[in-house]
Amino acid sequence: MGLQMLMNATLLGGLYALMGIGFSLQWGISGIINLSYGAMVMLGSYISLEFFNFFHIDPFISMIMSGAILFVIGAIIYRGLLQPFLKGGIVFTLILTFAVRLIVENIILKVWSADYRTIRLVYAGSNFQLGDVYIPLTKFLTFITAGILIYLTYLFMMNTKIGKGIQAVALDKEGAQAVGMDVEKMYMINFALGTALAGLTGSLWASIYSFSPHLLGPLVGKVFIIAILGGLGNIWGAAAGGLLLGFAETAGAGFLGSQWQEAIGMVIMVSVLLWRPYGLMGKKFFG
């Protein structure tokens, strides 16, 4: 694998890492397999698109709005739709999040159509060089931003009262309840954090790639893989999983051709499920 390919893989992996963490937190801690996650990412992209088209705001700045809006949406979805069904086994929450996906998908189709959209940044074409390797500026900025956001998430989990509350609830629900913690609130904030991360990912995505409702399904496929690779609820695990997927996809596209990408990803996921269901890192939260 050449150095350029390595660089491409790493830059892609960083974005995937950020994307995977949100889904992994939702599944691992709130116990919800969120089939609308891809739709949330795309919403982030479209929000940045609008901010760019109307106010000429750069997606690296409008991502804050994406994150905030998607945080609220996530909280509403969790509290209004999912919370009543947490005890009902997987069928209900799975099909409910799928219903959310359908609704969001329909909204996107109506408002923006199925056409691929892009954000044409002035600096989109520029790149800089490190030896023989070309690094596109947008991808580089995205990678750095993703890294910062991941680290901020980690700090949030480790150092804030709510973050520590979420950890406590994840490790021992009854214990947390016994000391008077509002467990449901923790689950809700965790879930909303997940959708916020999806929204942030969407904005970053929009700075580099084009996007359309067609991506809704495949994105969910990708975050499944990342979450399982990294172990559910494990931030650094998901980050590593994202990087791994970035590498697998780049190498796969390079050597096998892009049609096999999805198959490879799925085969990897099922293999990991069978061999190490707790993820490559083993059973740990937060890394």
Partner 1 sequence: MSNNKKVNIFLLIIAVVLFIFLPRFLSGYMVRVITTIFMYAVIAQGMNIMSGYMGYLPFGNAMFFGIGAYVTAIGMSKGLPFLVVVPLAAITAILFSILLGLPVLRLRGHYFAIATIGMSAAILSVVQNATEITGGAMGTTLPIIDKDPSIVYNYFYLAMFGLMVITTLSLYFIIKSRFGFGIRSIKANEEAANSMGINTTYHKVVAWAISAFFTSIAGALYAYWMSFIAPDEVFDVMIAVNTIVIMLIGGAGSILGPIIGAFIIELFAEVAWSAFLEYHLAALGIIIIIIVFFVPKGVTGTIADFIKRKKIRARKKVSI
Q: Tokens for 149, please give them.
A: 């956001």
Q: Tokens for 69, please give them.
A: 């809006």
Contact 171, 285 (CB under 8 A): yes
CB of residue 233 to partner 1, shortest distance in Å: 12
CB of residue 150 to partner 1, shortest distance in Å: 24
Residue type, 133: V
Which residues, in sequence order, are CB contacts of 97 under 8 Å at separation 6+? 32, 33, 34, 35, 36, 37, 82
Residue 90 or 148 with smaller CB distance to partner 1: 90
CB of residue 270 to partner 1, shortest distance in Å: 5
CB of residue 228 to partner 1, shortest distance in Å: 7
Scan for tokens 């359309």, then name that residue.
212
Residue 13 or 265 with smaller CB distance to partner 1: 265
How big is the chain, counted in residues? 287
| CA 144 – CA 212 distance, rounded (Å) | 25
Residue 33 or 75 with smaller CB distance to partner 1: 33
| CA 234 – CA 214 distance, rounded (Å) | 28
Residue 163 or 279 with smaller CB distance to partner 1: 279
Binding site for partner 1 (CB under 8 A): 27, 33, 81, 84-85, 88-92, 94-96, 98-103, 105-107, 109-110, 217, 221, 224, 228, 259-260, 262-263, 266-267, 269-270, 273-274, 277
Residue 1 or 270 with smaller CB distance to partner 1: 270
CB of residue 227 to partner 1, shortest distance in Å: 9
| CA 162 – CA 176 distance, rounded (Å) | 12
CB of residue 262 to partner 1, shortest distance in Å: 5
Residue 2 or 84 with smaller CB distance to partner 1: 84
Contact 12, 143 (CB under 8 A): no
* Beta-ladder partners of 135: 128
Q: Which helix (H) or strand (E) holds 192?
A: helix 183-208
| CA 20 – CA 243 distance, rounded (Å) | 10
